[in-house]
Amino acid sequence: MMNFTINGQPAAFDGDPQMPLLWFLRDEIGLTGTKFGCGMALCGACTVHVDGLPLRSCVTPVSAVVGKNVVTIEAAEKDKIGQIIQTAWVEEQVPQCGYCQSGQIMSAMALLSHKADPSDADIDAAMSGNICRCAAYPRIRAAIHKAAEALKS
Ligand code: FES
Ligand code: FES
C-alpha cells in the first residue's frame, strides 16, 4: 500500500506504482481540476505541488510521491497565496478557454511562495514551462504582479 497526503488529507493506493500521479488524482479520487495536456512534461497543464515544489503529474509515477504532500488546484483557495492569486486572476480576467489555467496558477503559487516580488524575467522563467494555447501570457504576468502587490499589504 502506498500512502501519501493529498490536499492535507491522508490518501492511499494499492494499484500499479507506475501509474501517473495525474491518473490517480483524476480517475481514482476525482480531483479533475488538474488537466491532461501533452502527457510528456511539455505543457504544464498537469502541474501540482509535491512538498511545495511544482511537478508535472503526467510523467510522475504515483510511487514517487509516497510519504509526500501533494497539493492540487482544488486546495489553492485554502492557501493565502493561492487565494490572492485567484483574486488577481479574476480581476485581470486572465483565462480564455481556461484549459491551462490550473497549471498556470499552481506554477504562480510556487513562484510567489519562493519569490515575493518577482520581476518580469523571474515570472517568464518560472512560468516558461506552462504553455497557453490562447496566449494569455501578458495577463498572466499582470496578474502575478498584482498578486505580489497584494501580498505586500
Ligand atoms: S500534461 Fe503534463 S506537462 Fe503536459
Ligand atoms: S487559457 Fe486557453 S490554453 Fe490557456
Q: Range(s) for CATH 1.10.150.120 in the chain?
A: 76-152
CA-nearest residue for atom 3, ligand 1, is 41
Helices (H) and strands (E) in the chain, counts: 5, 5
Ligand 2 proximal residues by C-beta, below 6 Å: 95-101, 132-134, 136
Yes or no: say if 41 and 49 are a contact pair by the CB < 8 Å rule: no
CATH architecture of 2-72: Roll (3.10)
* 12 confidence band (pLDDT: 50, 70, 90): very high
- What rounded mean pLDDT belongs to the chain? 97
pTM summary value? 0.96
98 Cα: distance to centroid of ligand 2 (angstroms): 5
93-150 confidence digits (pLDDT tens)? 999 999 999 999 999 999 999 999 999 999 999 999 999 999 999 999 999 999 999 9
CATH number for the domain running over 76-152 = 1.10.150.120
Round to whole Å and give the CA distance between 98 and 119: 25
| Tally of residues, the chain | 153
